[in-house]
A = this chain, B = another copy of it.
Amino acid sequence: MSLLRHIRQCNEHRPDHFVPFWHRGDRLGLIRKKNAEALRRFPSAYEVDADAVRLVVDGDFDALSAIIEETTEHLVAEGLVAKWRNEFFAAAPRWGAPAHFKIDRGAVPFFGVRAYGVHLNGYVRDGATLKLWVGRRSPKKAVAPGKLDNLVAGGIDYKHGLLETLIKESEEEASLPPAIARHAVPVGAVSYRMAVTHGLRDDVLFCYDVEVPPDFVPNNNDGELVAFTLEDAAHVIELVRQGDTFKFNVNLVLIDFALRHGLIAPDDPEYLDLVTQLRRPLD
């Protein structure tokens, strides 16, 4: 089977079903046309027309965040936002730009705000063989319950930087000590845009590799992962190729790992499509 199908799956969306979400001349998201109708009830805050939604209030970060929060409460009540997570992401026009406001993670797909995460490939060298730590997600997770995952992964909230998030999640998810997590190597990113039940995921995942000591055994502290196994990296890629045992976006992080570590032969006819399509251009 094909590795490329995972990239296609993570990019399934109909651009014509979404309209840009603007504020002060910046596009901050993409809203499903059907969902945009729900914002007509707040005409003092949103201007909704056929080809755009505009947040028309002015104000500083806190004032705008309060308005988005109020909207989110209504959307939760209407069932248009899946779940109240009490974790807030930054809404910014691009990486490194100041955020216009913060937004509850649960409302991120509704507004189609770009979200950023960190994913950590934890590996061990066993002679010439590369082994990867694989986590299994809790059956209670809202997204991809029971699926396989990276050693550590987490969303970047509006208060934490990349490395801070990586260190925090490393402790919570795998008991990986800060002294090791701090030496994780940033190795690039993958990006995709995928339609989901409540809107759109416009995601960027920063990828990190860390060589962990041979005697390290991960241990979960936050209930998000229920088991860990150390697998031959080549076997992990074979699992990615053959099935859907990994969470949808973790497949992309693992394909990136495989490409960087020579686990996919460059004369594979899919090779250049994998290399060029793993990172959706950001607009």
Contact = CB atoms under 8 A, between A and B. Distances in A.
Interface residues of A, number: 34
Interface string A91-118: 0001111000000000000000000000
Contacts of A204: 272
A266 B95 CA distance: 10
B191 A265 contact: no
B187 A260 contact: yes
Given A266-B162, A267-B162, A191 B272 contact: yes
A261 interface: yes
A9 B107 CA distance: 39
B185 A271 contact: no
A282 interface: yes
A179 B189 CA distance: 33
Interface stretch (A23-31, A42-50, A167-175, A273-281): A273-281
A261 B162 contact: no
B259 A187 contact: yes
Contacts of A214: none
Contacts of A276: 189, 191, 279-282
Nearest to A128: B183
Contacts of A21: none
A122 to B, nearest CB: 15
Contacts of A267: 96, 161-162
Contacts of A95: 269, 271-272
Contact of A189 (B97, B261, B266): B266
B277 A281 contact: yes
B186 A266 contact: yes
Contacts of A213: none
B265 A275 contact: no
A15 interface: no
A97 to B, nearest CB: 8
A262 interface: yes
A188 interface: yes
Contacts of A272: 94-95, 189, 191, 204, 282
A246 interface: no
A279 B279 contact: yes
Nearest to A97: B269
20 contacts: A96-B267, A96-B269, A96-B271, A97-B269, A185-B262, A186-B265, A186-B266, A187-B259, A187-B260, A187-B262, A188-B259, A189-B275, A191-B275, A260-B260, A273-B282, A275-B279, A276-B279, A276-B281, A276-B282, A281-B281
